[in-house]
Structure 1
Amino acid sequence: MQIKKQQMGDYQTNCYIVTIDNKDLIIDPGVNATPWVKQNVTNPIAILNTHGHFDHVWSNKELSEDLNIKIYCPKNDEFMLKNDPYGLGMKPSKADVLVEPDEEFDFDGIKVKFHFFPGHTPGCSAIEIENNLFTGDFIFKNSIGRCDFPFSNPNDMKNSIIRILKWDKNFRVYPGHGSHTTLFQEKESLKAWLNYL
């Protein structure tokens, strides 16, 4: 497995390309991600959205059309792709596959699971591929995603943290912003955040 990362746009949103057996999965193609992605894929098979915020899905439409691949997005965040709720001029995109909570997929032998962790957004999910967890804006290094935005829910975030704290596997964590970490490294920070929600 190879993981490539590039920060996109004003919010330095991490776009990832995960390559396994010469097949490329594109995670969270943000603002102006298209040129970088196209330079770094040889056999793209899908676009995976951790959630629907504009800085993670900005290049969905362009890439899906240019590369002729499907968009997978948590179903509870579909409205953000279609409606540009923040009015920033994002080109609307349409998810080809609306992902159910905790749904699993098999991309020609590559196992992918969308773990449902709402709070930051209604459909916020962490994408598991092998021993890696692409957490979008759920977990960052020493922090969590904000839940004071429109459509956020602090109580859902609290429940999501409680749920992941029960996990006993030390995933490598690749967040939507900042540097990578591990789940075990973040457990104390996550416990502390519970006091602020």
Structure 2
Amino acid sequence: MKITRMKVGGFAANCYLLMDEETKEAAVIDPGSCPGKIVSALEGYHVKYILLTHAHFDHFAALLDVQKETGALVAMHEDAADAVNDPERNVSKMFGRDLPPIHTDVRLKDGDTLSVGNLTIRVLSTPGHSAGGCCYLCGDVLFTGDTLFRLEVGRTDFADGSYPTLCKSLQKLAALPGDYRVLPGHDEETTLQYERDHNPYFYGD
């Protein structure tokens, strides 16, 4: 398993390229901007999926361009599939962005799994930052989008946000057995155990 992180766009969102080096299949997680940069980094790979952790535009603004170049299927949680095309819920209206509509090929639910080559990706529903927020678990890596950051969590004052709901999602992550690398939607990576031990939001109510 090979993972490449790219900081993309003016909001410094993280885009991740998840690649199976044996089969040369890949997935793109949260293509927020810089489609040319993303596609170039995937040369030699077949991109099977574009995965969204949630439906905020800074995490998917380059999706259609990446899909056009790769032919990948677009997958997101079923509760994000409508929000992604709602300017208020995807926050594009707040920033004066006008985005073309996105078609969701695969509507995911909690516990679903996807295969990328020999890799298995498990979907964990983690709403709170927004409806339809989810994390992706692959091997020892947890892609958390804007649910969990290093010593922080995603804000909940946008449409569909709910702090009590986010706290329940954090408790769900805390209950996962063992430790994982945490690759968030912004900022630097951390580990789940570090956040269990130090993140002040982890056991909020």
On whether the aligned pair clears a TM of 0.5, the verdict is yes
- Take 1:194 and 1:168, find their aligned partners in 2: how far apart are those partners? 16
SS in 1 for 2:172: helix
Aligned to 2:198: 189
User: CA 1:194–1:16 in structure 2 vs 1: closer, same or farther (change >3 Å)?
Assistant: closer
- Take 2:59 and 2:179, find their aligned partners in 1: how far apart are those partners? 25
Tell me the CA shift for residue 196 of structure 1: 5.5
Tell me the percent identity: 23
- What is the TM-score of this pair, normalised by structure 2? 0.89
Structure 2 unaligned spans of 5+? none
- What is the TM-score of this pair, normalised by structure 1? 0.93
- Take 2:204 and 2:171, find their aligned partners in 1: how far apart are those partners? 13
The letter of the residue matching 2:128 is G
Aligned to 2:31: 29
- Take 2:145 and 2:139, find their aligned partners in 1: how far apart are those partners? 17
Encode CA deviations 1:119-178: one digit per residue, 9 max, x unaligned.
Answer: 001111111111101100011011111111111011111111122222231010000001
The letter of the residue matching 2:75 is Y
The letter of the residue matching 1:37 is I
The letter of the residue matching 2:78 is K
Q: CA RMSD in A?
A: 1.5
Q: Is the 8 A contact 1:84 1:92 kept in 2?
A: no
Tell me the CA shift for residue 83 of structure 1: 2.6
Q: Is the 8 A contact 2:171 2:203 kept in 1?
A: no
Deviates more, 1:93-102 or 1:131-140: 93-102
The letter of the residue matching 1:8 is V
The letter of the residue matching 2:12 is Q
Aligned to 1:49: 52
Structure 1 unaligned spans of 5+? none
SS in 2 for 1:76: coil
Q: Is the 8 A contact 2:195 2:202 kept in 1?
A: no
Q: Residue 117 of structure 1: which of 126, 135, 138 is its match?
A: 126
